[in-house]
Chains A and B, each alone.
Chain A
Amino acid sequence: MALIWEYRFDFLAGVWWTVKLSVLSALLALVLAIVAGVARSSKLRVLRIASGVYVEFFRGTSALVQLFWLFYVLPYLGIDLTPLQCATLGLGLCFGAYGAEVVRSCIQAVPQGQLDAAAALNFSYFQTLRIVILPEALIMMMPLFSNLLIELIKATSLVSLITIPDLTFQAKSIITKTYSSGNVLLVTLAIYLVISLIAASFMRRMEKVLSRGRQTGQPA
């Protein structure tokens, strides 16, 4: 374990990259998920088809190959992204597709009575979405988003393969320097676990904030 302590700054640097990448791609994924999920439940066929293609493509293909494509092929098309940009875009697109399905199913779960009430009050489509549907749906989404966020955090380890010095990357390089794979991997797993636990507890707190006032008998 003295060995681990010696490499603590390498671990920390890895954690920093993993966390930064998780946050950035989760934000991108959230925006994409909401846009695509709303589009998928739209009345307009064009929007439904466009978002359907996006979701099926990114859900149905390998995230690693998507990353490789962004990293190795885009430069040939004259688009030069930094590794961080590639990784954020790749993970964001992929998890945005998963999230879009969550958003769509939660939007459909909003009771028809709420929509009738909104229509009777003459809300426009976007007002209904903003004032009635999304606040309702968001609460239902939180536990599902929480799962996706943890999946995303674990999936960030893929980016070590496109030269980003994240936690997995650091672990591998420490192993090649020390030959002590058992301990290093154990610590690495523990760190991932801690990050996931923190993320899950953050999501639970968000869920509480969003659903304030919902519990019967709770003072407003």
Chain B
Amino acid sequence: MSDMITFDKVDKRFGQTVVLDQFDFRVARGEKVAIIGPSGSGKSTLLRIIMALQDIDQGKVSLDGRPLWDAAGGKHRIKPTRKHLRDMRSLVGMVFQNFNLFPNLTALGNVAAAPRHVLGLSQAEAEARAAALLAQVGLSDKLQNYPATLSGGQQQRVAIARAMALEPEIMLFDEATSALDPERVGEVLEVMRALAHERDLTIVVVTHQIGVARAIADRICFMEGGRILEDGTPQQILNEPRNERTRAFLRAVHLS
């Protein structure tokens, strides 16, 4: 299978902080990968680089074989023009920890906005697509609700439908269940698990909830200090971690 996401010796710094350090990472088409690791280890930054919200200082990042970032010595070898970023972003959808729904639009409006304005569908077509997606995430009865009138779990399901509305090849989830009450995690996880059954959809999930990683992923990467320290099946990583740092992290997570 071909690679959907490739990181090739990528460096990313914020001032003095080294976030990614000669970072190598590969995700095959259709693979479901979970990234776990301590706070500040660069997990969100990694997703933001794939979503083209953040550039890199050094190295190369490709999506579906097409170069997204290519930098050397802090200089971009591929100009991050608006057109280039838009082309690459059309491959990727992202779900954020804090949902980030547009509060001035209804659930339907949130999901229909991008099909309407970015894909140029008619209002009716965009709303039909949005309604179908909201039905998939179990929110057919909430189409006209504004975000403020939805629970956290419902808001996050709208956010997932919104990200799916552009039919991305890659879906990114950044701590998608971390801001939720424990009893709301299940409903969102269920939607994510349904997406994980789509064979061609590539999924990268960042989480510190082991249950989420176990439910979604067919591969787990443990990240710390700007690198992936351990990479394996959920079975192996969660039950018999080889790296000392992974063991320490899992112990800490289990205690909390």
Contacts and interface: CB of A to CB of B under 8 A. Distances in A.
A216 B151 CA distance: 10
Contact of B90 (A111, A122, A124, A213): A122
Contact of A215 (B53, B102, B148): B148
Q: How large is the interface on A (under 10, 10 to 19, 20 to 34, 35 or more residues)?
A: 20 to 34
A85 B85 CA distance: 47
Q: How large is the interface on B (under 10, 10 to 19, 20 to 34, 35 or more residues)?
A: 20 to 34
A218 B144 CA distance: 12
Interface in A113-136: 113-114, 116-117, 119-124, 127, 131-132, 135-136
A2 interface: no
Given A121-B113, A122-B86, A213-B149, A220 B98 contact: no
Contact of A113 (B93, B100, B118, B166): B100
B114 interface: yes
B149 A114 contact: no
Interface in A135-173: 135-136, 139
A220 B100 contact: no
Contact of A122 (B105, B145, B166): B166
A123 B144 CA distance: 22
B102 A132 contact: yes
Given A120-B51, A131-B113, A220 B96 contact: no
Contacts of A215: 148
A217 interface: yes
A214 B114 contact: no
A122 B89 contact: yes
A207 to B, nearest CB: 13
Given A114-B102, A122-B89, A132-B102, 16 more contacts: A113-B100, A116-B53, A116-B96, A117-B102, A119-B51, A120-B89, A120-B92, A120-B93, A120-B94, A121-B113, A121-B163, A123-B114, A123-B118, A213-B104, A219-B149, A220-B145
Interface of B: 48, 51-53, 82, 86, 89-90, 92-94, 96, 98, 100-106, 113-114, 117-118, 144-146, 148-149, 159, 162-163, 166
